[in-house]
Amino acid sequence: MRIATWNINSLKARMERVEAWLADVAPDVVCLQETKLADAAFPALSFQALGYESAHHGEGRWNGVAILSRVGLTDVETGFGPDDPDPEARLIWATCGGIRVASAYVPNGRALDHDHYRYKLDWLANLRAQLDQGYDPTEPVVVAGDFNIAPTDEDVWDASKFVDATHTSPPEREALAKIVDWGLVDMFRQVRPEPSLFSWWDYRAGRFHKHEGMRIDLLLGSDPVAERVRFATIDRNARKGQQPSDHAPVIVDLAD
DNA sequence: ATGGTGGCCCGGCCA
């Protein structure tokens, strides 16, 4: 099974590239973030024509997450549950090919002294609580998405430029570690240990062409999934050319 | 260089 996560920064702006990428890469399950669409505008029929069932949780102008699957898609849940405290569309769950899959778009945080940073830390704590209450790490679970956190300094092109900044601050990394400590493995890192492999590059200042990025898009899998990983890559080609997202897809292949 | 680019949708926010 090939599973991927990709922040596409507007599905409306990116649909043509997403369709070409699906045909090229042939993933079985895709977690999308930042669709920036209302549910009514989500192009489910176009994905169906390509062989993918889909589920979307959107609000319109901002955020929006989706899961595509050609190996089954059932039991869709959105947000943190019935009394969801999150006013924004940042999380969707579905069961695909025997794996409980989440597509997550973690809040950016903006700045360490901003209210949005507290929202980010609370959001991550809510995700850990949801895992504690609803799931079992001995079962197959994948939490994939744009975490807006570089787990270590090796996931940043120049960590000295991000002191006292979001994406690298110790409280964010600790909140991510609490999620991992529930019983998840960074499945890309598991098979690709080398530094300076990035999934996001700022549009500004030619960062992509200078190889100045961060690895903030993660596929976290429970042990029954992580032990099946045979290959992982970041599809840098998807960051090139005309009208790319600022993120590249991260892809993991699992043995059957 | 306190900028830069690109998405939302057309003035300013968000990343």
Q: What are phi and psi for residue A49, nearest 5 degrees?
A: -65, -25
Distance A62 CA to B8 C1' (A): 8
Q: Select from A177, A67, A193, A56 the least CA-distant residue to A125.
A: A177
Residue A99's domain comprises 2-254
What is the reported pLDDT for A82? 84
**Mind listing the pLDDT tens digit for each residue in A38-92?**
999 999 999 999 999 999 999 999 999 999 999 999 999 999 988 899 999 999 9
A61 touches strand B (CB under 7 A): yes
What sign results for the dihedral spanned by CA atoms A112, A36, A40, A135? negative
Look up A105 and say whether it is catalytic. yes
CATH number at residue A189: 3.60.10.10
Q: Give me the number of domains chain A comprises.
A: 1
- Residue A146 is among the residues annotated as catalytic for this protein: yes
Instruction: Give pLDDT, residue A81.
Output: 87
The residue ranges of chain A whose pLDDT is under 70 are none
- Global pTM reads 0.98
